[in-house]
Amino acid sequence: MTKIDTSRPEQILPTPSHTVGPFYGYALPFPGGPDIAPVGHPDTLTLQGYVHDGEGNALPDAFLELWGPDPEGNLPQVDGSIRRDPATGGYLGRNGVEFTGWGRVQTDANGHWYARTLRPGARGDSAPYLSVCVFARGLLVHLFTRIYFPSDEAALAADPLLARLPEERRDTLIARPQADGTYRFDVRLQGEGETVFLEFT
């Protein structure tokens, strides 16, 4: 056992640094992660936006997972999102045919993300929405939220979750149509304009 004389600072070595994870960008992305809609589907829509921290800075290493029903409101029951090459074990990406309703998206260096999917159909009393899970630095536990679409004001007004929120908070869950035909949905982790997050018990 080595003894260190603490009265001599030159003998005290600094504690090794520890790297803080998890590293969402290392093992979780896969080819075609944002391409949820089948290749060439005529009703494909594009969602895009940014993930911001509490000070409004865009996060270049955040991660989103999206789930949603098909346009008829049915939950997909098919495989096909992540396929592996049986010979190498590497990712092959999606099969390009099946709609699984699930995607995994990493923000780029500017904190921007996008996904191509089909507009979800309504389920039960809820207006059509996509479920979102957000992973980002500084979050010890991932966050859940929703993305609603603005096309049916009556359905949005009657949605049980949205009806419980003040209007200014409700707007943080509704994607905004853009001039280029995409829908914009930004995630704000805290601070002014913080996205409404859900807690499941």
Q: How many Cβ atoms from other residues are within 10 Å of residue 191's Cβ?
A: 11
Query: Distance between CA atoms of 109 and 119, rounded to whole angstroms?
Result: 27
The yes-or-no verdict on residue 18 having pLDDT over 70 is no
Residue-by-residue DSSP string for the chain: -----TT-GGGPPPPPP------HHHHS--TTTTB-SPTT-TTEEEEEEEEE-TTSPBPTT-EEEEE---TTSPPP----SSEE-TTT--EEE--SS---SEEEEE--TTSEEEEEEEPPPPBTTBPSEEEEEEE-TT-SS-EEEEEE-TT-HHHHHH-HHHHTS-HHHHGGGB-EE-TTS-EE--EE-SSTTPPP-B---
- pLDDT value for 196: 97
Relative to beta strand 129-135, strand 143-148 is antiparallel
pLDDT band at 61 (very low <50, low <70, confident <90, very high): confident
- pLDDT value for 13: 61
Question: pLDDT digit string (tens) for 91-109?
Answer: 888 888 889 999 999 999 9
The one-letter amino acid code at 93 reads: G
pLDDT band at 14 (very low <50, low <70, confident <90, very high): low
